[in-house]
Chain A
Amino acid sequence: MGILPEPVEAVLETALVSELTVVDPAGRPVTHPLIPLYDGELIYLTSSILFSKKLEHIKANPKVSLSITDPAALEPGQVARATIQGDAEVDDSDLHAGWERVLPLWRKKEPAIDFFLGKRVALPLFFERSVIEIRPRKAFLWEDGRTDRPPQVFHVDPVLA
């Protein structure tokens, strides 16, 4: 049991893709599909420097949201949808190898990552990566996936978070 409500954790742990929304300098929301990783406390996303505009935006404004919306990217039978708002930090202290700390979580979602990592020489800049760490503050859950009905809203305990 982590800091998020169990049904939210269930979709986070199985989702193959999520939508990360950041706010650009003009105040405009910008959304990026990314693989969500979760260790019970923080949500992790990794981003190659090739697609690093989102990292610049987070450094300027750490407020983000992460949605899990695609039932096709969940376990069969899962229909729930969730959105988590939180504060993000970018860890780019070691672009070359620092992100490998989340590799065990990544491997669970995308086993083929080891194959691609073995071909690192072919795509060297893709594997120069930052880690986005999201500390959740509020979660919205649509247990039946119906967003035309009000969501359950959870405030994450700031002490736990």
Chain B
Amino acid sequence: MKATPELIARLEERFGHAVIAYVDADGYPMSVATDFEVDETRGIVSLRAVAGDAQPPQGDRVNVVFSHIRPQPGVGYDERRYVSLWGPLRRTEGGLEFSPEDVQHWDEEEMSFFEYSERGLPQAHRYLEQVSAETGREVKPKLSFGWLFLRATRLPFLTATFVPVLLGIAVAAWTNGFNWWLALLTVVGGACIHLGLNVANDVFDTTSGADKANVNPTQFSGGSRVVLYGLLSLRTIALMSLGFYAAGIAIGIGLAAARGWDLLWLGVAGALLSFFYTAPPLKLVHRGLGEIVVALGFGPIMTLGAYFVQAQEYDLEPLLASIPVGILIALVLYVNEVPDRSADAAADKRTLPVRLSKDQVVNGYAAAVAVAFGLVVVFALGGWIVRPAIIALAAAPLALPVYRALKSSYDQPYALMPAMGKNIQLHLATGVLLILGYVIALIADGVLDDPPAFLT
């Protein structure tokens, strides 16, 4: 990279000293610190002369480095930045004059350490290949089985399945009855389909290049990256995905056989939507349908399915109860897509943040949250779902920091990360409170002879 006048002009305000590095007569590198001043008009750096054995050779190309950290006692340091310049050095009357030509630099205020690390991935793979060649054995990065499973499956995202499934079970317990074993099988079956989806998503985002193009992955976005990092092969995660789908489908067929074949249509719809979310030829997320698919799959389909397993019929109440949950889980995806939008666009994934402007995305978030909680109020006050479910409104304030962070940190993936976590909490807390609403209604109904209307 060529050194720019802007970069040179900022050296004095960003660094306290320079280090001149050169190769000495014995072939060893030598490096020595000195003071410096920038002459912006001439584009040169004036360096104070060094003395004794440490004098750099005149006329040679040298490396001049500016490095800064801020110590944090008892912790380590922050404010890491460096600028490494190469160019010719010559002696002047007052000292040394350096003409910067080439540069390498990093400033963690401008590029997060996570992004800096991601950009080092090709070098990491090259080095692993070299070490493999040197040692005659394949050298690969490692993670313990537990961490690798957690990372590859993105296990913590299972809350997206637990909420709608348990909500469906809770509604059924209120309207019809409840069977523990069926509930357990439903949760496990739903979780298997979800994990199959997570891993399939990685298979297709790896083959499409979407994950590789993304240099800003976060804890919540950018995929598991296990293939990209060389932790697992594409074949292994493809088999994992198939295994999860097979287990989920087997449980679904078993539940349909036991509780009614009408369950099958919903299960088939759910499994197909899940698989073709990223899989060709449909690639629904590439066609701008990802948010709707996720809202349907992790909202009405899972809640109605779990309800059917218990009640052996479909009903309006679980469908209505699932709509706010479906909207909020779509919003989890929607916010998580914000840092991925450049990489998604490059891979032709036309997600909403790819298609919309920042203002539209931020306002869209606020509007969707308002609709989700507005529906909770309407459904609960109207008696279409149990009235105690209105306590789900208590989760609504969690949307505020997400909204604010979208406005202030839209282009800063890592500053957005806490808000992404908060948005997941919004979905989880709302779902738990809706379920708790049904638990309150069940307890009131069981304990009181004639429970008041606001408790049912």
Which residues from chain A sit less than 8 Å from chain B, CB to CB?
Answer: 16-17, 19, 21-23, 27-31, 33, 48-53, 55-56, 63-67, 69-70, 72-73, 81, 83, 85, 92, 95-96, 109-113, 120-126, 128, 137-138, 140, 142, 145, 147-151, 153
Contacts and interface: CB of A to CB of B under 8 A. Distances in A.
A83 B53 CA distance: 12
A63 B239 CA distance: 48
B113 to A, nearest CB: 9
Given A17-B69, A83-B30, A31 B124 contact: no
A78 to B, nearest CB: 12
A122 B219 contact: yes
A29 B131 CA distance: 23
Contact of A150 (B21, B52, B68, B120): B52
A104 B150 CA distance: 28
Interface string B313-333: 000000000000000000000
B238 interface: no
Contact of B19 (A67, A92, A124): A67
B145 to A, nearest CB: 12
Interface in B324-380: none
Contacts of B62: 29
B159 interface: no
A66 B31 CA distance: 7
B176 interface: no
Given A28-B63, A56-B127, A148 B34 contact: yes
A92 B143 contact: no
B452 interface: no
A147 B219 CA distance: 46
A138 B29 CA distance: 12
Given A21-B63, A85-B28, A96-B141, A67 B33 contact: yes
Contacts of B26: 63
Given A29-B23, A147-B34, A70 B67 contact: yes
Interface stretch (B70-78, B164-172, B177-185, B246-254): B70-78
A85 B22 CA distance: 12
Query: Which size class do B's interface residues fall under?
Result: 35 or more
Given A31-B19, A70-B17, A148-B48, A21 B31 contact: yes
A123 B151 contact: no
A145 B69 CA distance: 18
Contact of A95 (B34, B76, B131): B131
A130 B127 CA distance: 11
B150 to A, nearest CB: 7
Interface in B103-139: 114, 117, 120-121, 123-124, 126-128, 130-131, 139
B23 A23 contact: yes
Rank and list the top 4 A-B pairs by shortest CB-CB distance, nearest first.
Answer: A150-B52, A50-B120, A69-B33, A110-B76
Contact of B28 (A50, A55, A63, A81): A63
A113 B77 CA distance: 11
19 contacts: A28-B61, A29-B63, A31-B21, A31-B31, A31-B63, A49-B127, A52-B123, A55-B127, A56-B130, A81-B32, A95-B128, A110-B76, A112-B72, A120-B143, A122-B219, A125-B229, A148-B49, A150-B52, A151-B53
B77 A16 contact: yes
A48 B120 contact: yes
Nearest to A109: B76
A15 to B, nearest CB: 10
B30 A70 contact: no
A121 B151 contact: yes
B223 to A, nearest CB: 13
A81 B33 CA distance: 8
Given A19-B19, A52-B123, A111 B76 contact: yes
Contact of A147 (B27, B32, B231): B32
B82 interface: yes
A50 B23 contact: no
B16 interface: yes
A147 to B, nearest CB: 5
Contacts of B50: 147-148
Nearest to B63: A29
A113 B127 contact: no
A153 to B, nearest CB: 6
Contact of B76 (A50, A66, A85, A112): A112
Contacts of A125: 117, 120-121, 124, 141, 229
B17 A69 contact: yes
